[in-house]
Amino acid sequence: MHHYGTEGCVCTPCIPIARNSRKKAERQAARGTVICVCCGNSFIPTRTDATTCSNACRQKQFRHRRKENDKRADEYVEQQLHNSKILNSCSRHRTVRSKGCLSNKTALALIFKLAEAAEKSWRRLDGHNQLPKVILGVKFADGVEVIRSQAQAAAA
């Protein structure tokens, strides 16, 4: 049986429920309003990490993000297919069991994920700061720049 006071029901089972809902309302009020990243409307978020005002905006944002990621993955795969023999050999690798089991889009996604995983263990070239000198034609011997005197340069 419920006992009602000035603030609603005051029976033992209802007190924690009322306290929790009051604290939740206080937290929401303390957060203030947030502007939706999709439509630009302001809203009071129900979660601390909410960035969209509705499910429709959340879905629109997800679809946009997925399209951008697919576009980025396609560009990356195209670049790597032109630049890397490893990826070319991976994309041509076929066995009797796997031949024709993937669509083109799925195979490109698989190669993209493979390249991303491999990228984590790649090391930057030693002496990468020397590349502009190499492009200009400076000579190196055993990784050390060869400095020729003017007399040697004139003789050559």
Entry pTM: 0.38
150 occurs within a structural domain: no
132 occurs within a structural domain: yes
Domain count, the chain: 1
Name the residue range of residue 71's domain.
Answer: 54-141
List the single range of 106-110, 114-118, 121-125 with lowest mean pLDDT: 121-125
Instruction: Give the pair of three-digit tokens for residue 76.
Output: 């990356």
81 occurs within a structural domain: yes
DSSP state of 124: P
List the single range of 91-95, 116-120, 144-148 with lowest mean pLDDT: 91-95
47 occurs within a structural domain: no
User: Is pLDDT of 9 > 80?
Assistant: no
Alpha helix stretches (DSSP H) within 32-144: 55-83, 85-92, 104-119, 131-136
Residues whose CB falls within 8 Å of the CB of residue 92, separated by 6 or more in sequence, listed in order: none
pLDDT for 31-69, tens place per residue?
788 899 989 999 888 888 888 999 999 999 999 988 988
86 occurs within a structural domain: yes
The pLDDT of residue 62 is 92
User: Is pLDDT of 128 > 80?
Assistant: no
